[in-house]
Chains A and B, each alone.
Chain A
Amino acid sequence: VIQDIGGYSYFLTVPHLFNIGFKYSKALDRLGRKGAELYQRFFIQEKFYKRYQSSDQNTPITRIVPVQKSIEAESKINNADEIHGILNTCREPIVATDCPCRKRTEILGIRECRGKYPIEDSCFQVGLFGEYFLNRGEGRRVSREEAHQIVDRFAKLGLIFTTENTRDSNRFVICCCCDCCCALIRGMTRFSEKNQACSAKSNFLARVDPQKCQGCGLCVARCVFYAVSLEKEKAVVDPDKCYGCGVCSVTCPTGAVKLYPCERSNVYADGLDLMHRIYKENRQASALAK
């Protein structure tokens, strides 16, 4: 668990400690099914997932980022708003590992997306995290070009991209998430107490051009947040339910569904800014509860 990088010793703590053992890991031999069962207990049954996803005052720790293809072409976008921009600006190395969330459900024999979404190469560790994994002799270093190709493929499959809720290019994990295994998205789709702040909504909103929509319903089937429905054979988006992931848009056969910019969630400047806020809000809430 402990690695020396650039003259410093690190070990990844809460919440990464929940995941690193399931990412491609030598630690998996020690954790195995027992580790996955313990995770089920403290993370899901004892409900630590809320603190993993957001502060006690609902500041999301991660945010959803769409893929460029889903965004309306005229829209002005920043690098931090879109997955290819994030991959272009994040630090090297980019290391692809197993998705720890799908790995855990696979180990437990409860993975719903088997055959639909892959476990391999679907979690990117970048910068210092990438170095950490390479140091452990784990993961596969990929070029930016290959990372772009992987996310394009995953976008078509219907995976949702999440990363830290920050603008700074100095990030460390880019996740390719599903609705049935993900520690974040399940906050809205599966866990007993819904967490609207499971991940920040992107600053985009899906909108349908009724002239182009043929009412095929593909977008309805692909939306894991149940934000799209068919009314009079036309797709309609509920803006309150839409997380702006763009999954509905990527495979729309007529290009009728597109994401449009919509400022609705705060993106923090960098990790320090975000973590100060999380720390403060959690301690304030604990103090008030006493």
Chain B
Amino acid sequence: MQKINFENAYDRIIANMQRYPSGIPTKDGRVSEAFREYIQLMFTPEEAEIAQYMELRLPPAGRLPPWVLYILSPSPLGQKKKPRKTLQ
């Protein structure tokens, strides 16, 4: 059975977050260590395992508060793609 690498799960979550309009906290051009630690506190290992596969997509029409838009879609901004119904 393949061993889950939680460290990589957090890295993938952070990598996805870099696509957000405001980006993520950095220090000297690198991901802020304080931010990395914060994310590790925020997501339990179990949540991180799921969250790493969640893509940023536009939520369904009519449910579009501003910043939520980018939670589920890593696609280039402005390209309205149909969100998938469930996690894969």
Contacts and interface: CB of A to CB of B under 8 A. Distances in A.
Interface of A: 1-2, 6-18, 21, 27, 30-31, 34-35, 38-39, 41-43, 46, 48, 51-52, 55, 61, 127-129, 164, 166, 170-172, 270-272, 274-276, 278-279, 282
Contacts of A282: 21-23
Which secondary structure dominates where chain B touches chain A?
loop
Contact of B72 (A10, A17, A21, A171): A10
B-side interface size class: 35 or more
A172 B22 contact: no
Contact of B64 (A31, A35, A55, A271): A271
Given A9-B87, A30-B44, A38-B34, A129 B68 contact: yes
A274 B65 CA distance: 11
A275 B69 contact: yes
Given A41-B34, A271-B69, A1 B42 contact: yes
Contacts of B54: 2, 9, 11
Contacts of B72: 8-10
B32 A279 contact: no
B66 A128 contact: no
Contacts of A127: 63, 65
Contacts, number: 143
A16 B32 contact: no
A271 B67 contact: yes
17 contacts: A8-B85, A13-B17, A14-B20, A14-B22, A17-B42, A38-B35, A39-B38, A43-B25, A46-B26, A48-B35, A51-B22, A128-B68, A170-B64, A275-B21, A276-B77, A278-B22, A279-B21
Contacts of B71: 10-13
Nearest to B20: A14
B78 to A, nearest CB: 6
Given A39-B38, A128-B59, A270-B66, 4 more contacts: A31-B42, A38-B35, A170-B64, A271-B66
Contacts of B56: 13
Given A15-B22, A21-B42, A6 B65 contact: no
B27 to A, nearest CB: 5
Contact of A171 (B35, B44, B66): B66
A163 B50 CA distance: 31
B80 to A, nearest CB: 9
B70 A13 contact: yes
